[in-house]
Amino acid sequence: MAIVTLLRPPLLVPIWSDSGPLTPPIGPAYLAASLRQAGHEARIVDGLGENPFQVTPLFANKVMAIGLRSEEIVGRIDPDTDLIGVSCMFSQDWPEIRRLIQMVRRRFPGVPIIAGGEHITATAEFTLQSTPEVDVCVIGEGEETIVDLANALDGGAPFDAILVWCFGPLTAEWFLRARGHASASWTTFRGLRGIWCRSRTIWAMVWATA
Ligand code: B12
């Protein structure tokens, strides 16, 4: 059993905004349910929901972060966690999410960090290039992929036995292909970093081992 902690960042809105949508973290909830069904332990730190009335000005007072501050989110991560997943849904949140990820990496130097969500799906290659703290970017829906990753980490699916989709270096062309086919590859988790997503029915696969 792997202990997986899923992080939802605070909500960022312009400083002039008079509201921010308070919504439940459905994506992380789905991931947590999948992990639990697969026998793993899943915990969510809901950066918005755990303190929805706290407002923190950020970035020279241009935006407000609603919810927990990133430092507080990091403080709520279980020290025994085996895997940390960060949900990145909105691109406007990315500058703060990146700061959060960097803090997580400092606090948990040996724990794999995976990122997913709408923003990551659109910018996986950029994320890997610009944010070395991220080990894996998951494209698209993450329910199956996160279980695969937790299984791999847990030893249930030995890395060497995992069938992977390899598409070579992460070029722009490669990424467009991945996006176009709503699919991805596994090139990571043992030192290598990469993009991984599942849709084995569509992708023209090259089978390989990690
Ligand atoms: C519902 C919705 C809303 C709702 C609720 C938003 C919320 N805070 O939850 C409302 C109406 C409030 C809303 C508002 C906005 N939205 Co909206 N919204 C959606 C919509 C239609 C569905 C999102 C959803 O709930 N999906 C269902 C859940 C289960 O899926 P999910 O969250 O994506 O999670 C899955 C994967 O992403 C992945 N995943 C997610 N996190 C993680 C983490 C890890 C570790 C892993 C491995 C995987 C993973 O696995 C999950 C399970 O499959 C999407 C478009 C779409 N079809 O996806 C746009 C979308 C997310 N919204 C978008 C935008 C731009 C906005 C607004 C900024 C619009 C505006 N100008 O005000 C605001 C921002 C609001 C905010 N900051 O909260 C864009 C985001 C693009 C971007 N790169 O930033 C999208 C993609 C639409 C689009 N194509 O333009 N939105």
pLDDT in tens, the chain (210 residues): 999 999 999 999 999 988 788 888 999 999 999 999 999 999 999 999 999 999 999 999 999 999 999 999 999 999 999 999 999 999 999 999 999 999 999 999 989 888 888 898 778 778 877 888 887 777 777 787 788 788 878 875 543 333 333 333 343 333 333 333 333 343 333 333 444 444 444 333 333 333
Query: What pLDDT was estimated at residue 1?
Result: 93
Q: Cα–Cα–Cα angle for 146, 106, 8, nearest 5°?
A: 45
Task: Match 């390899």 to its residue by tokens.
Answer: 166
In degrees and rounded to multiples of 5, residue 50 shows phi and psi of: -85, -10
> Any residues with Cβ below 6 Å from ligand 1, and which?
11, 21, 23, 26-28, 30-31, 85-87, 89-91, 114-119, 122, 138, 141-143, 145-146
The closest-lying atom of ligand 1 relative to the alpha carbon of residue 115 is: 45
Give distance in angstroms: CA of 10 to centre of ligand 1: 14
Q: What is the CA radius of gyration of the chain?
A: 17
Q: CA 45 to CA 126: how far, in whole Å?
A: 25
Mutate to test the pocket of ligand 1, among 4, 30, 93, 118 (most ligand atoms within 8 A of CB): 118
The count of structural domains within the chain is 1
What is the DSSP-derived secondary structure letter of residue 73?
H
Give distance in angstroms: CA of 89 to centre of ligand 1: 5
Give distance in angstroms: CA of 91 to centre of ligand 1: 10
Q: What is the DSSP string of 9-61?
A: PPEEEETT-S-------HHHHHHHHHHHHTT-EEEEEETTTTSTT-EEEETTT
pTM: 0.85
Residue 51 belongs to what domain range? Answer: 3-209
The CATH number given to whatever domain includes residue 167 is: 3.40.50.280
Give distance in angstroms: CA of 112 to centre of ligand 1: 24
Query: What pLDDT was estimated at residue 193?
Result: 43
